[in-house]
Structure 1
Amino acid sequence: MTVEYHLPAASTATPARVDGVVIGVLLDVPSADAPVVAFPGCPGEIGLAARTTTPLSREDIGAQVALMFEAGDPARPLVIGRIQRLLATAIPAVAHMDGERLEFTAEREIVLRCGKASITLTRAGKVIIQGAYLSSRSSGVNRIKGGSVQIN
């Protein structure tokens, strides 16, 4: 995969010390403990190997990362995090658990799936149970109740 990166132009002089957080780009992750990064004023031609405080993978290549520098040395970058891109319109699914009850909440639907079996709950109030074999057992009353009931 070939990716082209454009960093803001920086002066040709390498700063003696870098304090604070610098935003850079993750160029490569050849091994889990040595990601390659580039940043404005980067002393390396093709980026620098960095240390990291956060897990990074090849799927993160091209992402912006927050960098600090060991002892302020621009030749010793430390990735302190990946800049997150959260969708403002996305409403996350929520799970509440208190030891007695587990409740999942979602905006549109919830699907529990295992192999060929699934249970789907929709926003419209539908409960759809699908599977290769369906068994309903009860030691008490097994009640089927609805506006209309169809069997077969």
Structure 2
Amino acid sequence: MSAEIHRLAAAKQILDTLRVSRGRIVAIDPDGTILVEDGARDCVLACDFLRTSAGPAPRLSTGDEVIYIAGDSGERGCVLGLVERYSTVPEIPDNLHLEANRRIELRCGNGSVTMSNEGKIVVKGDRLVSRARGVNKIKGAAVKIN
């Protein structure tokens, strides 16, 4: 019984030192440190970012409102996430930018498009269709058909 009380007291002590707050990003340093301003406490705290999935992290910018957790004074905080209105309708962007250092590959069934950093683009499929309302050009230093 005494060990259980000791564990609960230790957990309470840890929770008492942590506080979850809402703040605004004032800067993001080149090393990835996020500086968050807490208007209620009139201070700026250096924070890390909690990554919760293998997917891309959200793009954070100066002025974004975030939820963060702060420990004892002097400790780095941790940004838990971006505060924004939830949308039940997925937003389709006007532009989509994909970038990779080595290769991008899109696959669907038997079809694929592969782009490499050497500038090579390979399109594969059971059937390829190219349609144009205007001129349909094929350009290259050499063009091979069959």
Q: TM-score, normalised by structure 1?
A: 0.40
- Larger % of helix: which? 2
User: Given the two structures, how large is their TM-score scaled by the length of structure 2?
Assistant: 0.41
